[in-house]
Structure formats: C-alpha cells, structure tokens
Amino acid sequence: MMRRSLRPALTVVATVVLLFSLSGYQVTSETASGRLLGRLAAAVIELDRWLPAHAEDLRLLAAEARGGSVTPAGLPVPIALPADAVAASDANGLRAMIVEATGAALRKDGLAAFRDDAGAGGSLGVQEPVRWTVALLGASAHTFWGTALLLSVVALVGFAAGLLLEGRPLLGPVSFGGGVAAAAAFAAWLLALAADQAFASAIDSEVALILRDGAWIGLRNGLAVGGAGLALLLLLGNGGDREAANRPLPVSAGPPGAPPE
C-alpha cells in the first residue's frame, strides 16, 4: 500500500510530467513544428541571401509551368511550389512559401528530407544541432509526446483520486507542480536567450531561438496551472473565512438552572 506521505509528492511529479508532455505535444504539432522547422531550414539555406539571386528565375519557371508546380534548384530540401502562387507573389510571399514548404517536408520526412547535389539523402553528424532539432520536432516526436501526455494524465488522475479519497487537499500539490514546471521552463527560456547571444552561427542561433519558443510554451502552461490553482486556493480560503464569520455565535452557558440567553 502506498504511504500516505508520498501521494502529494507523486501528485506534484505527475503534474510536472503532464505539463512537460503537454508542451512537447504542442511544440511538435503540425502547425508549430512546421513553422519552427521552416525557420531552421531558412537559416541552413541562408534564404535571405539565396532568394534575391533566384527569385526571378523562379518566376520565369512558374510562367512556363502554367498551373503546375515549380521545384527550386539548389536547395538542400527539395520542395514543390504552386506555379501560380509563385508567379503572383512578391519577395516576402515567395519567402513565406519556401519556409512553409521546407518546414512541412522536414516535419514529415525528418533527416531524409535533406538531399545532396547528387540527389542522395544528406547526412548530418551526431554533433550537429540541426540533426537533433529536426528529430525532436518531427512527426514521430509528436506521437511520442502524445503517448506521454496520455500516460501522465492517467497517472495524475490516479494520484488525485487517492488524495481525494483520503480527504487530503488536491489543489496544493497541483499548484506547486505548476509552479515547478513554470520555474524549469523559465530557466530554459533564460538559457536559450543567453545561448542566442553567445552563438555566432546563424544556425546555432536559430536553434537557440527554437528552444526559447518551446520554453515559452512550457512557461505559459505552468503559469496557467499554477496560477489557476493558487487563485482557487485563495478563493476557497476566503470563502471559508466568510462562512465562519457568518455562523451564529454559540450560546454561552450560564449558571446551572439559569435560563438560556
């Protein structure tokens, strides 16, 4: 039988794990991870330098394609862009299309999306931050975090039910767990900001900014849970005080045989 003293601590741990899993699930969602991986691809390609030299060629190809698709040459991640949209877009629109398409390709295919000049699958060393960033933001990572989120919800519900059945408070451990998760996310956010300032490479800097954005989602989730739990604790505490104040005072007992006051 689980010791009673461990249930609050396990509830705190389960809350932290749940919030961490929720943040990972949100960061690796199709919209969020596609946007983050697109930014990473733009840094790898040096898109702001590459695009001005190739924008006109892309528009000429789009005019010839007549409703088909255009495949920009020379990119490490092969993508196909709708020809009509390319022909009608300005520089900012064309950049946004490339970022979105490369992000979607990296999320779907992972490292296999990279191709070298011969068309073979590109390879990145284990020490390359791009390799780990792509792996941690891909579709398979989203599946992992979804499973972790489900298991952590089940664990938290079980620990919470145990506390309630024992007549012990639940809001305190949950609020504390939210605070711990928020503190850890804030530390990661500060670390990412410091790394962004320290890195000279545009790719390493973008990886740090991706970590910063992921930590911000975790900070937001932790503050939401911790703040809501703390607000409920204060509200219930004030409500309890008002209830006690509104109770009628007990009738004082007089001497034996005296009539009640």
**Looking at residue 122, what is its pLDDT?**
54
pLDDT tens, 171-197? 999 999 999 999 999 999 999 999 998
Strand partners, 167: none
Binning pLDDT at 50, 70 and 90, where does residue 156 land?
very high
pLDDT at res. 91 = 86
Average pLDDT over residues 101-128: 74
Residue 241 in this model has a pLDDT that exceeds 70? no
Report whether pLDDT(236) > 90.
Answer: no
Instruction: Report the chain's terminal Cα–Cα distance, integer Å.
Output: 52
Is a pLDDT exceeding 70 seen at residue 4?
Answer: no
pLDDT tens digits, 30-56: 999 999 999 999 998 899 999 998 888
Q: What is the pLDDT of residue 3?
A: 56
Q: CA torsion, points 118, 124, 129, 135, in degrees to nearest 10?
A: 90
Are the C-beta atoms of 203 and 163 separated by less than 8 Å? Answer: no
Q: 197-208: per-residue pLDDT in tens?
A: 898 888 899 999
- Please write down the HEC assignment for all residues of the chain: CCCCCHHHHHHHHHHHHHHHHHHHHHHCCHHHHHHHHHHHHHHHHCHHHHHHHHHHHHHHHHHHHCCCEECCCCCCCCCCEEHHHHHHCCHHHHHHHHHHHHHHHHHHHHHHHCECCCCCECCCCCCCHHHHHHHHHCHHHHHHHHHHHHHHHHHHHHHHHHHHHCCCCCHHHHHHHHHHHHHHHHHHHHHHHHHHHHCCCHHHHHHHHHHHHHHHHHHHHHHHHHHHHHHHHHHHHHHHHHHHHHCCCCCCCCCCCCCCC
Identify the band that residue 248 occupies on the pLDDT scale cut at 50, 70 and 90: low
The set of residues, in sequence order, having a beta carbon less than 8 Å from that of 215 and lying 6+ positions away, is 185, 186, 188, 189, 192
In tens, the pLDDT along 10-22 reads 999 999 999 999 9
Query: What pLDDT shows up at residue 148?
Result: 97
Give the residue-averaged pLDDT of 222-249: 73
Q: Which residue has the higher pLDDT, 56 or 153?
A: 153
In the predicted model, is pLDDT for residue 120 greater than 60?
Answer: no
pLDDT at residue 218 in the model: 96
Average pLDDT value for the chain: 85
- Among 100-104, 133-137, 244-248, which stretch is predicted with the lowest mean pLDDT? 244-248
Q: What is the pLDDT of residue 124?
A: 62
Residue recorded with tokens 């389960």: 14
Q: What is the mean pLDDT of residues 96-119?
A: 83
Question: Who wins on pLDDT, 38 or 63?
Answer: 38
Which has the closest alpha carbon to 150: 35, 21, 1?
Answer: 21
pTM over 0.85: no
Per-residue pLDDT, averaged over 58-67, amounts to 84
pLDDT at residue 234 is higher than 80 = yes
